[in-house]
């Protein structure tokens, strides 16, 4: 797996790296369970009396070798088994936000997978209260704002998704939207058309993973059967010129995850990642980390990998950062403030 294109001089790369560090940005595609670092997995296992099938942190890291999405999901769901208490979810969120703040992140819209926890007896309220406490504390400590997106696991059935939406009812004033994740191929978006319609009636925003491993038809379905506000990943949209034209025309935000795509073999080489092409085609692409503890890097690591592999310019970095605010679920005034902050930073550096 090749990360470096050799494009640009080392000095130019260092320049861009310094620029990147201070560039204000938002993260729109982050599974909080995917930010569970091996060290934290061990610590939570110990304090909760959970036995892990690994003897060391090194052994855990060695297991993170994936040839497709399902390889990762099997390990990711097993890892989440150490999360039992409100304090676990709060600490998990805080550790993520600390890293985001260090990367110049101002805002994040984080996914959580309640069914992964409720199905092993952890109440919805424990998960939600812990995450919300971490989000509030992160705002107080680092000034980072955030919103919560409840993801339905698409390998489970529609009834289970409806039950999860019902469990979320007391929290709907603190959940901005619903999403769809887990095993994509064989679980098309239309399977969840009715539960997404019900979520929309409740005033929730709608997003879905589509076109990560699944075909362009799944992206069409996310648009036409689910009526999503954002597409998560969307890589395979590029196989269909009419779909690309539509996504561009509709100004649909794509939450792209470079290191995830490399680790899950969605792309074979960072020099061939579609991110730069997406921008050239007028798509509203953003950069995100997906599951940073599993894929080798947090938000700026993903920007760095794209800079190194694709030779992204300063102007393209600025566009990506602006897209991250524009594509968020912040208010129009907050989006404008984020974009203005990016522009002011770019003008000054
Ligand atoms: N759950 C966590 N990360 C995911 C990904 N990249 N695709 C689908 N489901 C996920
Ligand atoms: Zn994802």
What are the residues facing 105 on neighbouring strands? 25
For 116-148, what is each residue's pLDDT tens digit?
Answer: 999 999 999 999 999 999 999 999 999 999 999
Q: Whose CA is nearest to atom 10 of ligand 1?
A: 182
Q: Given ligand 1 and candidates 33, 36, 73, which is best to mutate, with the most ligand atoms within 8 Å of its CB? A: 73
CA distance 26 to 324: 5
pLDDT exceeds cutoff 90 at 286: yes
Tens of pLDDT, residue by residue over 231-247, are 999 999 999 999 999 99
Ligand nearest 232 Cα, by number?
Answer: 2
Locate the ligand 1 atom nearest the alpha carbon of residue 33 and give its number. Answer: 2
pLDDT exceeding 70 applies to what percent of the chain?
A: 98
Supply the pLDDT for residue 251.
98
Domain boundary assignment for the chain: 10-37+86-348
Overall average pLDDT of the 168-172 stretch: 98
What residues flank ligand 1, with Cβ below 6 Å?
31, 34, 69, 76, 181-182, 209, 212, 260, 290-291
Q: Which residue's CA is minimally distant from atom 6 of ligand 1? A: 290
- The residue to mutate among 182, 187, 232, 292, having the most atoms of ligand 1 within 8 angstroms of its beta carbon, is 182
- Cα(71) to centroid of ligand 1, in Å? 11
Q: What is the pLDDT of residue 8?
A: 57
pTM: 0.97
State mean pLDDT over 277-287: 98
Among 155, 212, 296, which residue has the most ligand 1 atoms within 8 Å of its CB, making it the best to mutate? 212
Looking at per-residue confidence, does 177 or 5 come out higher? 177
The band of 1, judged by pLDDT with boundaries at 50, 70 and 90, is: very low
The dihedrals phi and psi of 121, each to the nearest 5 degrees, come to 95, 5
Distance in angstroms (rounded) separating the CA atoms of residues 180 and 188: 10
What separation in Å is there between the alpha carbon of 236 and the centre of ligand 2?
15
Give me the pLDDT at residue 10, please.
79
Ligand nearest 180 Cα, by number? 1
The 10s digit of each residue's pLDDT in 39-88 is 999 999 999 999 999 999 999 999 999 999 999 999 999 999 999 999 99
- Centre of ligand 2 to C-alpha 338, Å, is 23
Q: In the CATH scheme, what is the homologous superfamily, with its name and number, of domain 10-37+86-348?
A: Metal-dependent hydrolases (3.20.20.140)
Q: Give the C-alpha separation, 119 to 142, whole Å.
A: 33
| Ligand 1 atom at shortest distance from the alpha carbon of 264 | 6
* Least confident range of 10-24, 36-50, 195-209, 319-333: 10-24
- Given the CA of residue 212, which atom of ligand 1 is nearest to it? 7
Would the pLDDT of 6 be above 70?
no
What average pLDDT does the segment 266-287 reach?
A: 98
Mean of per-residue pLDDT scores for the chain:
97
- Mean pLDDT confidence for 284-295: 98
Active site residue 212: yes
For ligand 1, the distance from its centroid to the CA atom of residue 115, given in whole angstroms, is: 14
> Where residue 12 falls among pLDDT bands split at 50, 70, 90?
confident
Q: Which atom of ligand 1 is nearest to the CA of 182?
A: 9
Catalytic member of 184, 212, 213, 316: 212
Per cent of the chain over pLDDT 90 is 96
Give the closest ligand to the alpha carbon of residue 30: 2
Find the 155 Cα to ligand 2 centroid distance in Å: 14
């Amino acid at each position: 797996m090749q990360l470096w294109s050799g494009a640009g001089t080392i000095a130019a790369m260092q320049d861009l790296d310094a620029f990147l560090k201070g560039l204000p940005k938002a993260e729109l595609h982050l599974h909080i369970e995917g930010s569970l670092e091996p060290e934290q997995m061990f610590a939570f296992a110990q304090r909760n009396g959970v036995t892990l099938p690994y003897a060391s942190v090194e052994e855990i890291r060695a297991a993170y070798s994936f040839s497709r999405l399902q390889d990762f999901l099997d390990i990711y769901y097993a890892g989440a088994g150490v999360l039992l208490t409100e304090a676990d979810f709060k600490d998990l969120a805080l550790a993520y936000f600390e890293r985001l703040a260090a990367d110049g992140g101002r805002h994040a819209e984080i996914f959580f997978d309640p069914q992964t926890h409720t199905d092993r007896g952890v109440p919805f309220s424990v998960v939600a209260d812990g995450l919300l406490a971490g989000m509030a504390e992160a705002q107080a400590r680092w000034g980072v704002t955030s919103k919560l997106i409840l993801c339905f696991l698409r390998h489970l059935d529609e009834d289970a998704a409806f039950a999860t939406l019902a469990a979320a009812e007391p929290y709907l004033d603190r959940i901005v939207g619903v999403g769809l994740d887990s095993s994509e191929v064989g679980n098309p978006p239309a399977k969840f058309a009715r539960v997404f319609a019900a979520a929309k009636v409740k005033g929730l925003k709608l997003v879905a993973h589509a076109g990560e491993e699944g075909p362009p038809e799944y992206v069409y379905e996310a648009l036409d059967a689910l009526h999503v506000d954002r597409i998560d990943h969307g890589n395979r949209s590029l196989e269909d010129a009419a779909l690309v034209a539509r996504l561009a025309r509709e100004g649909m935000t794509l939450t792209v995850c470079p290191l995830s795509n490399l680790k899950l073999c969605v792309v074979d080489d960072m020099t061939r990642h579609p991110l730069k092409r997406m921008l050239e085609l007028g798509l509203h692409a953003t950069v995100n980390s997906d599951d940073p503890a599993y894929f080798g890097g947090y938000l700026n690591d993903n920007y760095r990998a794209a800079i190194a592999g694709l030779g992204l310019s300063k102007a393209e970095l600025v566009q990506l950062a602006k897209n991250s605010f524009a594509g968020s679920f912040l208010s129009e005034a907050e989006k404008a403030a984020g974009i203005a902050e990016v522009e002011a930073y770019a003008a000054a550096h």
